[in-house]
Amino acid sequence: MFALLCSRQVVLLKGRRTQLGLFQQNAFFILKSFTSIGLFESNERQEEEKHSFTVSYLINSCGLSPKSAILASERMNFENPARPDSVLNLLKENGFTNTQISKLVRIHPLLLLSDPEKTLLPKIEFFRSVGVSSSALPVILSSNPMLLARSLEKQLIPCYDFLKSVVLVNDKVLKALKRSPRAFQYNVANNMAPNIALLRQLGVPQSTITFLVSNYPYEAFTTHTRFVEAVHQVMEMGFDPLKTVFVLAIQVLVKMRKPDLESKMEFYMRWGWSKDMALSAFKRYPNCMVLSEEKITKAMDFLMNKMGLPSANIARNPKVLFYSLEKRIMPRFSVIQILQAKGLVKNDLSSGSIILPSERCFVEKFLIKFQDDVPELLNVYQGKMDLIEVGSQSQNVCGAKKL
């Protein structure tokens, strides 16, 4: 009996000890949880303060809008302005305006955390060393900040060297860079080199390759598979690799898939072109196919409905559609209308003979030549006088000359 009582006491004692242990253990975890929550809240406050500082810095020092600053701060945070300040100082010392800096930071905010002396300055000095002017450099880099994120030795210098080996003249390299800053980000081995090798294999002249690379670098160095596809299409359409129009067609088909090209040709057909006329227009001036439908509509409406030109006339000179309606086409046709009304020029002039000549040529042929007969021509051409005013001021023309 005594042994039974003793054993019960031992069990109760163990139970109390167990409960006490559980209480102590639970208390430890509760205390640890509160401590963790406290640390988490503390870290969260620190992150919020850091985030708030970053947003404030981007707004006040970099000129970003609050929305842009918040978006940029999601990609990086800092609480010490020393590094960003040194980056901004370097940019300002190298001619970047506040607007250009704002654009650069908005596109590539991590730039603020770069090492200005070891990372940024060598790239700026490289572009200057290859001939980029002090005024052009901020424009190029602010429009494509990722150039400053690329490796100088592994990317920028190899791209420059390859471009120089293709176009031969440094000015052409700079032209390609200005037209498409991304030219210095292309993959030399995978895209640039094989694309140029294909053109040379087809017998495309060096001058034509230089023209393509310097004027359309993005299209010239698109992915090799896309480039090959465009070349095959151009070959199937009967373009001659020896002519410049061959590479003009390639750069258009790099931008447009075959269904898009067919859709644009069908749009021209709504303006009276046959399928053969549309194809012929493409072969004459491939860029006519990359014009927007809005621009085509405005030009076609003016030339056909207001000036009475046949659709076929425009198809023979598709380049005329490329020019500005307000700045070039309408002023020139206003002059021609007056001259035709007075019997000074023929009525069957083609759209190409009116729109395609250079400014100097047009002025000499149609304004200077007839300035004594129609003194108001220059005012009409410059938009200072309309056709009604001319008609009211001059009824008869004496000694008129026919072209």
Q: What is the pLDDT of residues 340-395, one digit of tens each?
A: 999 999 888 888 999 999 999 999 999 999 999 998 898 999 887 665 454 444 44
Comparing C-alpha atoms, which of 104, 30, 22, 20 is closest to residue 68? 104
pLDDT for the residue numbered 4: 40
End-to-end CA distance of the chain: 142
Residue 382 lies in a domain: yes
Contact residues for 354 (Cβ-Cβ < 8 A; gap 6+):
332, 333, 336, 362
Which helix (DSSP H) or strand (DSSP E) does residue 201 occupy? helix 193-201
- Residue 105 burial (CB < 10 Å; 0-12/13-18/19+)? buried
Residue 310 lies in a domain: no
Asked if residue 1 has pLDDT above 50, the reply is no
Asked if residue 145 has pLDDT above 50, the reply is yes
Question: Helix, strand, or coil here: 249?
Answer: helix
Contact residues for 38 (Cβ-Cβ < 8 A; gap 6+):
none
Residue 41 lies in a domain: no
pLDDT for the residue numbered 185: 86
Asked if residue 177 has pLDDT above 60, the reply is yes
Residue 285 lies in a domain: no
| Residue % of the chain over a pLDDT of 70 | 83
Asked if residue 12 has pLDDT above 80, the reply is no
Mean per-residue pLDDT for 97-111?
Answer: 94
Question: Helix, strand, or coil here: 373?
Answer: coil
Residue 331 lies in a domain: yes
Cα–Cα distance, 194 to 120 (Å, whole number)? 31
pLDDT level of residue 183 (50, 70, 90 thresholds): confident
Output the six-digit token pair for 361. Answer: 């040529």
Mean per-residue pLDDT for 111-120?
Answer: 95
Mean per-residue pLDDT for 136-158?
Answer: 93
Residue 373 lies in a domain: yes
Residue 341 lies in a domain: yes
pLDDT level of residue 78 (50, 70, 90 thresholds): confident
Asked if residue 7 has pLDDT above 70, the reply is no
More confident residue, 140 or 35: 140
Output the six-digit token pair for 7. Answer: 């054993």
Q: What is the pLDDT of residues 190-208, one digit of tens each?
A: 999 999 999 999 999 999 9
Q: What is the pLDDT of residues 15-28, one digit of tens each?
A: 444 444 444 555 44
Asked if residue 227 has pLDDT above 70, the reply is yes
Comparing C-alpha atoms, which of 270, 264, 175 is closest to residue 216? 175
pLDDT, the chain, mean? 85
Token pair 């955390």 in the structure block, residue: 113
More confident residue, 98 or 394: 98
Asked if residue 311 has pLDDT above 80, the reply is yes
Cα–Cα distance, 73 to 110 (Å, whole number)? 9
pLDDT for the residue numbered 257: 87
Asked if residue 327 has pLDDT above 60, the reply is yes
Residue 368 lies in a domain: yes
Output the six-digit token pair for 327. Answer: 């700045």
Task: Supply the range of the domain harboring residue 357.
Answer: 323-403
Total domains in the fold of the chain: 1
pLDDT for the residue numbered 128: 95
